[in-house]
Amino acid sequence: MYRIRHYIRPEQIREFSLIFIIMLAVLFFGTQIDGYYSARTFNRIAASVAIITVLAAGQTLVILTRNIDLSIGSIVGFASYFAGQQLSANQDMHPLIAVGIAIGFGALLGSVNGLLVVYGRVPSIIVTLGTLAIYRGVLVDYAQAKTITTDMMPTWLVDLPRVNLFTVGEIEIRVMVGVAVLVVIAFQLCLTYLLLGRRLYAIGSNPDAARVAGLPARRIVLLAYILCGALAGLGGFMFLVRFGTITVSAGVGLELSAVAAAVVGGVNIFGGAGTMFGALFGAVVIGTLEQSLLRMPNVSEFVRDALLGLFILLAVASDAVILQQLRSLWARWAREARETPAAHSEKESGHAS
Amino acid sequence: MPPSFKWDSLKRWETLLAVVLAVVVIFNISQSSVFLRVDNLVNLFMLHIEKIIVVLIMTLIIINGEIDLSVASVMGLGACVVANLYERGVSMEAAILVGLGVGALCGIINGFWVAYVRLPSLAVTLAGLIAYHGIAEMLVEDRSIGNFPDWFNQLGQKALIGPLPLSLVIFFILFIIFAAVLHFSAFGRYVFVIGNNREAARYSGVRVRQVKMMLYIMSGVIASLAGILFAARLGAVRASTAEGFELDIITVVLLGGVSIFGGKGTLAGVGLSIMLVLCLRNGMNLLSITGNTQSTVIGVLLIFSVLIPNLTQDFQGFWNRRRMIAK
């Protein structure tokens, strides 16, 4: 048993438990809903999870540094509206430029948040509560009550949600899902192996120590906000692709879903702990519950939010209670291994042979 | 700066708020002759009365170093419970009592997780925000329940004492009670001490968990009461009643000079900030500025309320260094 702690950390057990929960949920819904195990179910859940995953990835970067970004719902709305407007004005714009516009616009709004937090020394919750209202208000004035509709869009964009990267049997891996998975993997690699990623954790676990150690904390937090805004911009473009019709209230409330996905995925709301895969699993759990409860025959659609809230609470509570237990168990194993080095090395050599 | 010079009193947050408020009031008077009339002032309050009632308890919770994002959902839930029970034939009086009880229950749930399990209040009340709203949706679904008894509707609309409707009377009474409790009672000192340093308070023998629990229960009951008053004013209840109010409520509290990190703030500042936001909205209405631009202005105000003191501090530091070098 001692050996386990060399390979697995308590936090990883918590992430595995999410996979277990997803499997349990799928098994449960399979007995309740006719034809649940179908490619259609998978595609539907995957499409709704993709956007939340991208947003939760950005949110995770910010939460890791012990900050929060409550404005991403408005950034998604503004970026999707702006990109849609540019596309309808220039029909032959290159798709990559369109994506770039959305991401760049999101990054711009994110950098405003970051500058205020870092150089204005305003608490992040105040800044992003303010910009949540400001970005939305400016969008409403900017849009002049006009709506972006599908028939204003070039045809490639309208067809994009149905384009498959590849298909496994009947399961279709759509472009949007591919983008979401790519984002998660890329940022997970950054967090694990790049200096920037390790510094995000360092700042989140102890801002003062990070500053004393000479980390450029201000620039890194600013960068986290810019990346979060950029990912919200990407999420906005995916929103535009998925729905085609963008009103001024596009993306309202997405900030709460993103925070919820990150928190369910084990990202510590006080910073310094959490992974991209955790955020992905969190988004999948929430997406699976949401989409499946929607199709439960005996459950009214109105129960959904009540169960979702309960689930988030349980996830946070399990963080505090179970993770604490696991950590102390790990610590005890480490202590015992130290006190009986002979027995431990014997075990290890025995294991090796 | 010589010490006899009383700059510090001018630099107080409340002073700044009062000056800005005076400017806005003078502007409003210049724009409209009816601004200072009693019915306009009553109307000014009544448009946002439910929010500003909840602002009072939110002030205590934020000073205590916590936050309650679920208040708007509790407001909606309280109203939906009352409407649902009334529709099933329960008398209105009993329904209101149950509604307040449900509010208290929500507060107990929040308080239990925050005070006893020590989970972050941001996460707990975020879950509460979603869950309580979900329960409200289960009760009312996508309908709108109305046809309340006449006395209930009049409660929200008709003047009770002089020109003041019931909810405004409740607001003023609660304001006085909370000001007394926060600034002149042992409980109020505990709220500040815990907000400053939870551990220090615990080692000094303050019953941290009870104080936090009390605050969350009060928050639940008052939010539920505000929701019921909102139902009485509108005459109908939907599941989305009061949705999104939490941001407005927290904005007003923070604008009143209460620190989001806890331990700092006065109810006088919050009172001024309530007046400022109400007058500002009224003034923008006079200029026919729409609701969305109004939210933008309030958002800018919220950020500037913290940004400007920080920047002046930076500038002063810069100036002092310059003078030192010149010497």
DSSP B189-242: HHHHHHHH-HHHHHHTT--HHHHHHHHHHHHHHHHHHHHHHHHHHHS-B-TTTT
Q: Do A134 and B299 touch (CB under 8 A)?
A: yes
Of B260, B293, B295, which has the smallest distance from its Cβ to A123's Cβ? B260
Between CA B301 and CA B252 the distance in angstroms is 10
Q: Do B299 and A130 touch (CB under 8 A)?
A: yes
**Residue of chain A nearest B67, judged by CA positions:** A125
Domains and CATH numbers, chain A: 4-339 (1.10.3470)
Q: Do B117 and A306 touch (CB under 8 A)?
A: no
Using a CB-CB cut-off of 8 Å, the residues of chain B touching A122 are: 303, 306-307, 310
Between CA B254 and CA B270 the distance in angstroms is 8
- ipTM > 0.90 (yes/no): no
Average pLDDT across each block of 10 residues of chain B; the chain has 327 residues. List them in order. Answer: 48 82 90 83 88 95 93 95 92 94 96 89 86 88 85 81 86 95 94 93 92 96 95 88 84 88 90 92 83 83 82 83 82
Structure tokens at A1: 């048993």
CATH of the domain at B134: 1.10.3470
Q: Do A302 and B138 touch (CB under 8 A)?
A: yes
Q: Is residue B253 part of a domain?
A: yes
**Residue of chain A nearest B121, judged by CA positions:** A269
Query: Three-state SS for B161?
Result: strand
Residues in contact with B211: Cβ distance below 8 Å, sequence separation at least 6, in sequence order: B64, B187, B190, B191, B194
Structure tokens at A229: 């805004």
Between CA B100 and CA B222 the distance in angstroms is 8
Mark residue A147 as left, alpha or beta (left: phi above 0; alpha: psi -120 to 50; beta: remaining): beta
Q: Do B303 and A121 touch (CB under 8 A)?
A: no
pLDDT, tens digit (0-9, with 9 covering 90-100), for B259-285: 888 888 999 999 999 999 999 888 888
Q: Is residue B283 part of a domain?
A: yes
Closest CA to B108 of B130, B132, B84, B81: B132
Backbone angles phi, psi at B52, to 5 degrees: -75, -20
When divided into structural domains, chain B yields a total of: 1
Q: Is residue B191 part of a domain?
A: yes
Using a CB-CB cut-off of 8 Å, the residues of chain A touching B311 are: 120
Q: Is residue B72 part of a domain?
A: yes
The CA distance from B307 to the nearest CA of chain A, in Å, is: 6
Query: Three-state SS for B162?
Result: coil
Using a CB-CB cut-off of 8 Å, the residues of chain A touching B120 are: 269-270, 316
Backbone angles phi, psi at A18, to 5 degrees: -65, -40
- A interface residues, B as partner, C-beta within 8 Å: 68, 116, 120-123, 125-127, 129-134, 136-138, 140-141, 256, 259-260, 263, 269-270, 300, 302-310, 312-313, 316-317, 319-321
Backbone angles phi, psi at A325, to 5 degrees: -60, -45
Percent helix / strand / coil, chain A, rounded to 5? 75, 5, 20
pLDDT at A46: 86
Between CA A162 and CA A318 the distance in angstroms is 38
Specify the DSSP class assigned to residue B113. I
Res A346 pLDDT > 80? no
Buried/exposed code over A317-333 (b: 16+ C-beta within 10 A; e: otherwise): bebeeebeebeeebeeb
The residue among A196 and B327 whose pLDDT is bigger is A196
pLDDT at A245: 85
Between CA B121 and CA A258 the distance in angstroms is 17
Of A44-48, A311-315, B241-245, the range with the lowest mean pLDDT is A311-315
Of A85-89, A91-95, A320-324, A325-329, the range with the lowest mean pLDDT is A320-324
pLDDT at B8: 56
Using a CB-CB cut-off of 8 Å, the residues of chain B touching A303 are: 134, 137-138
Q: Do B128 and A121 touch (CB under 8 A)?
A: no
Of A244-248, A316-320, B254-258, the range with the lowest mean pLDDT is A316-320
Q: Is residue B310 part of a domain?
A: no
Q: Which H or E run contains A123?
A: none
**Residue of chain A nearest B118, judged by CA positions:** A320
Q: Is residue B300 part of a domain?
A: no
Q: Is residue B11 part of a domain?
A: no
- For B166, the domain range is 35-288
Q: Is residue B314 part of a domain?
A: no
Question: Mutation test of the interface with chain B: which of A116, A312, A318, A322, choosing the one with the most B Cβ atoms within 10 A?
Answer: A312
Using a CB-CB cut-off of 8 Å, the residues of chain A touching B105 are: none
Question: Mutation test of the interface with chain B: which of A302, A322, A324, choosing the one with the most B Cβ atoms within 10 A?
Answer: A302
